[in-house]
Amino acid sequence: MSVLVVVLLLAVLQVAVYVHVRNVVTASAQEGARYAALADVASSTGADRTVATVARATSVQTAEGLVCSSLEETDGSGLTLVVVRCSGSVPTLLAGLGNLLPVEVTGRAVKEAAA
């Protein structure tokens, strides 16, 4: 009985960690896109800003498990968007299992025109 309770507790904790890390990565991708959308900033800096924000908010290990890219796209109305895409995995609570839970997020922001 106690083994079942411990397993259930670990499962609930893992879900909480996954949701937290996914929310942090989503917010960081949005922040990276907003930063790269500034008029005097190169669009390619969005991915680096995203990884740095994730490292500050969670851990360096979590940030190293992400692969982020940033690029410019044009939407249907002709606006130029900076898009930051990140994919990777969330560390598990049991160290021997590795990173099993996938994360894939996208952040977008409208690119400012140069003055």
Tell me the per-residue pLDDT of 5-33, one tens digit each, with 9 for 90 and over: 988 898 888 888 889 999 999 999 999 99
The domain containing residue 35 runs over which residues?
A: 2-110
Alpha helices in 1-115 (DSSP H): 2-36, 45-57, 60-64
Taking CA atoms, 77 is separated from 81, 110, 115, in Å, by 11, 12, 21
**Amino acid letter, 38:** L
Higher pLDDT pick, 102 / 100: 102
25/90 Cα distance (integer angstroms) = 10
Rounded Cα distance, 90 and 69, in Å: 18
Residue 14 has phi, psi (to 5 degrees) of -65, -40
- What is the β-pairing status of strands 80-90 and 101-110? antiparallel
Tally of domains within the chain: 1
The residue type found at 34 is: R
Q: Enter the pTM of the model.
A: 0.86
pLDDT, one tens digit per residue, over 40-85 is: 899 999 999 999 999 999 989 889 889 999 999 998 898 999 999 9
In a domain, 115, yes or no: no
Q: Which amino acid is at 108?
A: R
Helix, strand, or coil (residue 108): strand
Residue 56 lies in a domain: yes
Does residue 18 belong to any structural domain of this protein?
yes
